[in-house]
Amino acid sequence: MTEALLDPLPGLILLPLAWGIAAFLLGPGRGAAPAIVTLSLQFLFCLQLTHQVLADGPATHPVGGWGAPLGIDLMADGLATAMLLLTQAVALPLAVYARAYFRPGAPEARHFWPLFGLLLAGLNGLFLSADLFNVYVTLELVGLAAVGLVAMGGGAGQIAAALRYLFATLLGSGAYLLGVALIYGSYGSVSITTLEPLVAAHAPTLVGLAGGLMLLGLMLKTALFPFHFWLPPAHGGAAAPVSALLSALVVKASFYLILRLWLGPLAPLSALHPLLPWLPALLGTAAIFWGSWKAIRALRLKMMIAYSTVAQLGYLFLIFPLLGALGGLQAGIMQAFAHGLAKAAMFAAAGVLIKATGQDTIAGLAGAAQKLPLTLFAFGLAGVTLMGLPPSAGFLAKWQLIEAALGQDCWLIALVALAGGLLAAVYVFRVLRQAFLLTAPESSLQPVPRSLEWAAFALASASVLLGLRGVELMQLLHVGWAG
Amino acid sequence: MSTGLLFALVGAALFPMGVAGLLVQRHLLRRILAFNLMGSGAFLILVGLAQRQDVADPVPQAMVLTGIVVAVAATALALALTRRLYALTGRLELPDVEHD
Amino acid sequence: MSTNEALLLAVLASSFLPGLVIFILPEQQVALRTTLNLLGAFSKLGLVIVLLAGVYQDQTYTFRHVVLPGLELALKADALGLLFITLSAILWLLTTLYAIGYLEGAPHRSRFFGFFSLCVTATMGIAMAGNLFTFFIFYELLTLSTFPLVVHRGTDKAMQGGTVYLRYTLFGGALLLAGIVWLHHLLGHTEFAHAGIVASLGAEHTGSLKLIFLLLIAGIGVKAALVPLHGWLPQAMVAPAPVSALLHAVAVVKAGAFGIARVVYEVYGVEFAQSLNLLLPLALVAAITILWGSLRALFQDDLKKRLAFSTVSQVAYIALGLALFGPVATVGGLVHQGIMKITLFFCAGNYAETLGIHKVSEMNGAGRRMPLTTLAFSIAALGMMGAPFTAGAISKAWLMDGAEAAGSPWAVWVLWTSSLLNAAYFLPILWRAWFKEAKTWPHEHIPARGWRETGWLLLLPPLLTAVATLAAGIFADSSISPLAWAQLITEREYLTRQP
Amino acid sequence: MKKIAIQLAALVFALVLGSAMLDLDPAPVDLRPAVAAHLEASGVAHPVTAVLLNYRGYDTLLEVAVLLLALFAILAVIPDSQTGRPTPAAPVLQTLARLAVPLMLVTATFLLWAGAFRPGGAFQAGSVLAAALVLLHLTGLLAGWPQPGARLRWGLAAGFLVFLAVAAALLLQGHLLQYPPAWAGLLILCIEFALTLSLGLLLAGLFLFLSRDTEGAP
């Protein structure tokens, strides 16, 4: 009986819902402690799930005991488990960070913790869901929570960014919902497992339309070039812990869905034409170059990091022509981990620097960087991962991507990956060089809590250390791989 | 033609109208309305297409109820943000994206 | 984990861990920082001696760690690697002493010594890498940890130098990575092995292998400063003297040369590389680099830049040797050149620090004011020209013999020309220092005290390396000389393949 | 130009979508028999309610979370302002409102009870409740709400809390939200009751929390 209570699948959804709502009940600005404690528990659940999935294969949990297609199934295969692991691993340090970042009683942080809790519940629910309509609900949960977090600051710029983001995310999930409606109309079910054989057997035009709508909507939500217009103001304008959450996790959620659909129910459609997988890859390439270019030109630190997200998301889409072999998926997920951890670290570090100097320009960092070596080091390590230099998860991702590309004779992808790394170096070193400039000693630095610096450092170290041991993660992706 | 299919076809007309409105309109209230048009289109298709043989199907009906509540939540948030933006800037349009 | 595995990791940790601690030490903790530095340097030297003894007794040292399925981090200590390790360990100790004296009272010393330790760790990793994957990891780590040292002073000029350095090295890194992944894709591994590993691939891969060779050599050639990839080296001379001394005279450029050695001998294998006609182009590039570097050195007034171009030229000796005549001549040269070059940079640092001399034209009479420094400088410079009784004489003799034996008379011609050019750009310096009248110095910082012309921490390292230069030349036949070790390497690993 | 292009694209898309709908085979999966077969065990007599709160109850749980989320986001954005009571409406309207509200409460109760076997249920009941509150506000009988105090917060969250607690407790059955058939009716009624209250407050809150926001441009 009690075994069921320790089942990680429902646990990973119930726990964040519980602490989110508890934080609301505790009152404005409160709820950090239960969040951090419960997040640690979630992390343990995730490790247990990883262990379980590695040992026994994919785990399922039929909610309500009905089973698909009548009920909704939760399902954790290797891919879902990996994403869950990334989510908890990023969220826990960020919770510690946010607790120190928001002053007690700060008006802009009144409802951060409830929003954070529900965001995580949405993310976990999304990764675990095996039901297309349920996915829609989790997608909205994630989207609205993210918009709320961006708007939280309350400034005109933030509200405008939040609105822009809201319209983009609603348009995206609207297209997705229409796709779900068409699929239900065609097959009478929205369960992913039920649909897979049905689509393979017969796919009318309407299903092709549905697939296109869903993928397009999700690409908009992932901010794939040229749908990236909403991302920089939202990620660049929000409070640092929020930017970190959004860049590291939220955009990955819709990417995960694209991958899940592409490899699952929509696989028969994506195989229709050999050039189809090149479309996302092409957009990804454009994203890498455009995002990097804008990052190189950015004046504000957080804008630079936000545009770097646009570029880094491009790598995720380079894998689509390579998904014929497991290596392509492994490269993509390694990149998702590398970027997730590193970008969270980078936004966290930027938050420290901005808090200390009171300004958000790259040129204004010169004095601060020398006074905050740990933060700068964290920024540097995160930068190493983004550039794909060893030893780091980003390097392994680049290695795997190039090798997978060579394995399938896709030279162009290998070249793009190499060029993207060099471009990343340009914008990362633009920031790092500030640390070495000769400057008059800055005396007007605000003191910052040490836990901020250490949280950023922990995330950055994780992104580097993963580069020394990626075996387990890669084995995890074997589980449930159909190809 | 069955009533269900008719609903679905109306939905097929509403949804693109909503999308176009969302993309073309600049006034925020119009965009919120456009979003609701889009949502209604999707809901009509969800229920209508499933009932194209004119036999009621409770599953999509329940889904649409869920979808409506979600749309209400999103609309409320959009309205709240619009009001806030108006209170702060006196404008009911989004500013152009700053090129930074 | 066995002791042998642990020993390899300990060699890395002996500089890595002190480095990490030094990073977070407050600036004022001079005593603690110095203790940590010296503790690291001495313990590394101790560990290296243990390793040396072990390898001499034919012990094998390997460490393997799986990073990804099918991708392993591999460390090993073989005779070739140890030569480089020993050189770096000894010179690290001396340079640390020198740097402590040189940077006394300067700002950001924690940062400096932290990255300095990381650099040494990366150099050790390059020397101990057991496959190209591991080699690349440490190779890029070296790039990353040297950048902060190049721009350490924070001036505009330093930033410019740093930017140029990054541009070259990161681009080179990308080429190298492309080559390594390609090779890994073809072979499934990139282990270093004595006869090379690629010969087993079928003839249909010949074209790919040639291209991969080009990528690998171009990538590594950036650090080895082969023309036309040498542009960063003179620019990087804006770094403080200890950095120029250890890193740009020894660690970085020699890592490049060492990498070329690994690729030629242990990835392609000399015979296979020969059969693909890859070595002659490499030799030609090396020859051009030798002459071009020497020519450019001739026209530099800036002392450090003259030394930098001299480095460009000298490192190419190693590449030339590698391509044409087998390891002894070249591998010995790795050590001999390292010792001589570091002496020259130490001395250049002393002139700059003590008297404010940065240019050759300011050197007049420096020998009388700083006789010991100038003596060390002269010994090293004469060594560079290949004068008798110095390490340089031995290297050059072996190179010439090798060139004759290999039947490449044009190489002999290149070596003679370069020696003449060496003399042409070193002798005027010595002439000015010893025989010209002194005028006032640009900026005298350190007054002479008794027999000491400058701080003793600045004076001791160049004197020791100058003595070593002589010793390596005079006792070349002894069993503990670098040359003897190079012969050991040859006997053990390359004897069957010597041309 | 861009406008016309978008509108043209929308038109083309509508036509393609519509025509694709016209030639569609019957769906291979039909859930209606399954819905009917388990209706007995679901605890409610109305199939839509059964889907909503039992078969796909998990969707509904998350949907309430979405609603709460929107409220959190709104609370995060609105400033603390001081003005309270809106201007009262004409006496006739106030009297009418006073008369209407009790009727609306009765209607809400009916809708809640009816949900088990005919169209109705917590959401419909909650909306009527919310409408009553909004009506009171618009006629000047109820002040706009400030940032919620502890009591209001519990009221807003109660429905979700009960739902969440039931879902978690039912894990003991083996699965999330797995109602034992004997208890299903009672548990669903409890959830619906709590949800009605909270949804009433929530939906009203979406209006009343905003009514305090300063009007117009600065």
Does residue A358 sit at the B interface (CB-CB below 8 Å)? no
**CB count in 10 Å sphere of residue D181:** 11
Which of C213, C240, C269 terminates a domain? The answer is C269
Helix (H) or strand (E) holding C73: strand C71-77
Same domain flag for C249 and C138: yes
Compute the mean pLDDT over every residue in chain A, rounded to the nearest whole number: 93
Say what the pLDDT of residue C498 is: 39
State the smallest CA–CA distance between residue B94 and chain D in angstroms.
15
Cis peptide before C18 (omega within 30 of 0): no
Taking the C-alpha atoms of residue C20 and residue C145, their distance in angstroms, rounded to an integer, is: 12
Taking the C-alpha atoms of residue D19 and residue D27, their distance in angstroms, rounded to an integer, is: 17
Chain A residues in contact with B38 by the CB 8 A cut-off are 171, 174
Domain that holds residue C114: 1-269
Say what the pLDDT of residue C270 is: 86
Per-residue pLDDT of A1-40, as tens digits, reads 567 778 899 999 999 999 999 999 999 889 999 999 999 9
Same domain flag for C323 and C423: yes
Helix (H) or strand (E) holding C75: strand C71-77
Q: Which residue of D has its CA nearest to A160?
A: D77
In order along its 499 residues, chain C shows pLDDT tens digits of 788 889 999 999 999 999 999 988 888 888 999 999 999 999 999 999 999 888 888 888 999 999 999 899 999 998 888 888 998 999 999 999 999 988 887 888 888 999 999 999 999 999 999 999 999 999 999 999 999 999 988 888 999 999 999 999 999 999 999 999 999 999 999 999 888 898 888 788 899 999 999 999 999 999 999 989 999 999 988 888 889 888 777 889 999 999 999 999 899 988 899 899 999 999 999 999 999 999 999 999 999 999 999 999 988 988 888 888 766 666 667 788 889 999 999 999 999 888 888 899 888 888 888 889 999 999 999 998 888 888 888 888 888 887 777 777 888 888 889 989 999 999 999 999 998 887 777 777 777 776 778 888 888 999 999 999 888 888 877 777 777 777 777 777 655 443 3
Closest C-alpha to C25, from C37, C15, C14, C13: C37
Judged by 3 or more CB pairs under 8 A, whether A touches D is yes
Cis peptide before C482 (omega within 30 of 0): no
Q: Between the ranges A349-358, A446-455, C132-141, C344-353, where is the mean pLDDT highest? A: C132-141
Same domain flag for C345 and C260: no
Domain boundaries in chain D?
Answer: 45-212
Q: How many CA atoms lie within 13 A of A182 on its CB side?
A: 33
User: CB pairs below 8 Å between B and D: how many?
Assistant: 118
Q: Which of B50, B66, B98 sits opposite A137 (nearest CB)?
A: B66
Judged by 3 or more CB pairs under 8 A, whether D touches C is no
Chain A residues in contact with C69 by the CB 8 A cut-off are 471, 474-475
The amino acid occupying position C69 is P
State the smallest CA–CA distance between residue A359 and chain B in angstroms.
15
Say what the pLDDT of residue C122 is: 95
Residue D214 reports pLDDT greater than 60: no
Same domain flag for C258 and C236: yes
Say what the pLDDT of residue A447 is: 86
Question: Is A4 in contact with D69 (Cβ distance < 8 A)?
Answer: no
What tokens were used for C234? 């003179």
More confident residue, B63 or B95: B63
Give the single-character DSSP code of C288: H
Question: Is A137 in contact with D63 (Cβ distance < 8 A)?
Answer: yes
Judged by 3 or more CB pairs under 8 A, whether A touches B is yes
Question: Is A436 in contact with C152 (Cβ distance < 8 A)?
Answer: yes
Closest C-alpha to A400, from A340, A309, A336: A336
Which of C234, C269, C304 terminates a domain? The answer is C269
Helix (H, G, I), strand (E, B) or coil at C63: strand
What tokens were used for D38? 């388990």
Closest C-alpha to C208, from C223, C229, C228, C187: C187
Q: Which residue of A has its CA nearest to C115?
A: A377
| Angle made by CA atoms A323, A328, A334, in degrees to the nearest 5 | 135
Please classify residue C471 by burial: count the beta carbons closer than 10 Å to its beta carbon, then call 0-12 exposed, 13-18 middle and 19+ buried.
Answer: middle
CB C333 within 8 A of CB C317: yes
Q: Which of D157, D167, D173 sits opposite A65 (nearest CB)?
A: D173
Q: Which of D48, D50, D213 sits opposite B87 (nearest CB)?
A: D213
Taking the C-alpha atoms of residue B81 and residue D77, their distance in angstroms, rounded to an integer, is: 7
Taking the C-alpha atoms of residue C327 and residue C312, their distance in angstroms, rounded to an integer, is: 20
**CB count in 10 Å sphere of residue C440:** 7
Say what the pLDDT of residue D213 is: 58
pLDDT band at D217, cuts 50/70/90?
A: very low
CB A269 within 8 A of CB A211: yes
Chain A residues in contact with D77 by the CB 8 A cut-off are 148, 151-152, 154, 159
Q: What subunits make at least 3 CB pairs under 8 angstroms with D?
A: A, B
Question: Is D63 in contact with B17 (Cβ distance < 8 A)?
Answer: no
CB B82 within 8 A of CB B25: no
Chain C residues in contact with A377 by the CB 8 A cut-off are 23
What are the residues whose beta carbons fall under 8 Å from the beta carbon of C438, sequence distance 6 or more?
Answer: C364, C365, C366, C368, C369
Q: Structural domain tally of chain C?
A: 2
Say what the pLDDT of residue A351 is: 94
Same domain flag for C282 and C255: no
Say what the pLDDT of residue C281 is: 92
Question: Is B52 in contact with D24 (Cβ distance < 8 A)?
Answer: yes
Does residue A481 sit at the C interface (CB-CB below 8 Å)? no
Question: Is A151 in contact with B84 (Cβ distance < 8 A)?
Answer: yes
Same domain flag for C215 and C327: no
What tokens were used for D213? 């926001």
CATH class of B3-89: mainly alpha
Helix ranges restricted to H, C25-78:
30-56
State the smallest CA–CA distance between residue A406 and chain C in angstroms.
7
State the smallest CA–CA distance between residue D133 and chain A in angstroms.
22
Question: Is B90 in contact with D32 (Cβ distance < 8 A)?
Answer: no
Q: How many CA atoms lie within 13 A of B18 on its CB side?
A: 25
Question: Is B16 in contact with D66 (Cβ distance < 8 A)?
Answer: no
Question: Is A21 in contact with D161 (Cβ distance < 8 A)?
Answer: yes
Q: Which of D11, D17, D206 sits opposite B76 (nearest CB)?
A: D206
- Enumerate the β-bridge partners of residue A207: none
Domain boundaries in chain B?
Answer: 3-89
pTM of the predicted structure, to 2 decimals: 0.94
Report the 3 state secondary structure along chain A: CHHHHCCHHHHHHHHHHHHHHHHHHHCCCCCHHHHHHHHHHHHHHHHHHHHHHHHHCCEEEEECCCCCCCCEEEEECHHHHHHHHHHHHHHHHHHHHHHHHCCCCCHHHCCHHHHHHHHHHHHHHHHHECEHHHHHHHHHHHHHHHHHHHHCCCCHHHHHHHHHHHHHHHHHHHHHHHHHHHHHHHHCCCEHHHHHHHHHHCCCHHHHHHHHHHHHHHHHHHCCCCCCCCHHHHHHHCCHHHHHHHHHHHHHHHHHHHHHHHHCCCHHHHCCCCCCCHHHHHHHHHHHHHHHHHHHHCCEHHHHHHHHHHHHHHHHHHCHHHCCCHHHHHHHHHHHHHHHHHHHHHHHHHHHHHHHHCCCECHHHHHHHHHCHHHHHHHHHHHHHHHCCCCCHHHHHHHHHHHHHHHCCCHHHHHHHHHHHHHHHHHHHHHHHHHHCCCCCCCCCCCCCHHHHHHHHHHHHHHHHHHHCCHHHHHHHHCCCCC
C208-229 exposure pattern, b = at least 16 Cβ within 10 A, e = fewer: ebeebbbbbbbbbbbbbbbbeb
Say what the pLDDT of residue A483 is: 60
| Angle made by CA atoms C362, C365, C370, in degrees to the nearest 5 | 100
Question: Is A421 in contact with C23 (Cβ distance < 8 A)?
Answer: no
Q: At what angle do helices C3-24 and C109-128 cross, to 10 degrees?
A: 160
**CB count in 10 Å sphere of residue A464:** 23
Say what the pLDDT of residue C497 is: 41
Say what the pLDDT of residue A2 is: 65
pLDDT band at B95, cuts 50/70/90?
A: confident
Chain B residues in contact with D210 by the CB 8 A cut-off are 79-80, 83
Residue A314 reports pLDDT greater than 90: yes
Question: Is D56 in contact with A27 (Cβ distance < 8 A)?
Answer: no
Residue A263 reports pLDDT greater than 80: yes
Question: Is A159 in contact with B8 (Cβ distance < 8 A)?
Answer: no
Strand C61-68 to C71-77 pairing = antiparallel
Per-residue pLDDT of A91-118, as tens digits, reads 999 999 999 999 877 877 889 999 999 9
Question: Is D58 in contact with A28 (Cβ distance < 8 A)?
Answer: no
Question: Is A471 in contact with C69 (Cβ distance < 8 A)?
Answer: yes
Taking the C-alpha atoms of residue A270 and residue A211, their distance in angstroms, rounded to an integer, is: 9
Q: Report ipTM (2 d.p.).
A: 0.93
Strand C61-68 to A72-76 pairing = unpaired
Question: Is A148 in contact with D73 (Cβ distance < 8 A)?
Answer: yes
- Enumerate the β-bridge partners of residue A61: A74
State the smallest CA–CA distance between residue C92 and chain A in angstroms.
24
Same domain flag for C241 and C366: no
Which of C213, C247, C269 terminates a domain? The answer is C269
Taking the C-alpha atoms of residue C372 and residue C463, their distance in angstroms, rounded to an integer, is: 7
Per-residue pLDDT of D13-58, as tens digits, reads 999 999 999 988 889 999 999 999 999 898 888 999 999 999 999 9
pLDDT band at D218, cuts 50/70/90?
A: very low
